[in-house]
Structure 1
Amino acid sequence: MEINSLMSAQVAQLQQTLQMSIMDKAMNMGAAGAVQMLETMPEQPAATHPHKGQTIDIQV
């Protein structure tokens, strides 16, 4: 094998490793941001049922 093809293969492998590392860090930062956003969200009131508990006037 030529030295150029060896070097080219090593550079390609290094690029792939670097891309995976950057992508992994970006995903971790995104997940951490989502967790932080969910933790700082204000408490939501309990949702009421749209029909239950309402008075319905029915005439026959």
Structure 2
Amino acid sequence: MDISSMMSAQVAQLQQTVQMSILDQSLNLGAASAIKMLEDMPEQPVAAHPYKGQVIDVQV
């Protein structure tokens, strides 16, 4: 195996490693942003049950 093909293989491996590192950082940043956005959301009011706790008039 000549030096050129060895260098080419190493460069390809380095490119793959860099791409994976960038992808990992991007995913971590996206996850951190999503978590921050969810934490910053205002509290949602609790929805009342449609009939629980109310008097219902039923005639048979």
TM-score (norm 1): 0.84
Offset, 1:59? 1.1
Offset, 1:36? 1.1
Residue number in structure 1 paired with 2:27: 27
Amino acid in the other structure paired with 1:17 = T
Deviations 1:31-53 (A, max 9, x none): 11011101110011122222312
Residue number in structure 2 paired with 1:2: 2
Question: Quick one: distance in 1 between partners of 2:2 and 2:54?
Answer: 82
TM-score (norm 2): 0.84
Question: Quick one: distance in 1 between partners of 2:44 and 2:17?
Answer: 43
- After superposition, the CA RMSD in angstroms is 1.2
Uncovered stretches (5+) of structure 1, i.e. residues with no partner: none
Moved runs in structure 1, 4+ residues, more than 3 A?
Answer: none
Offset, 1:55? 2.7
Identity fraction in percent: 70
Uncovered stretches (5+) of structure 2, i.e. residues with no partner: none
Question: Quick one: distance in 1 between partners of 2:51 and 2:19?
Answer: 53
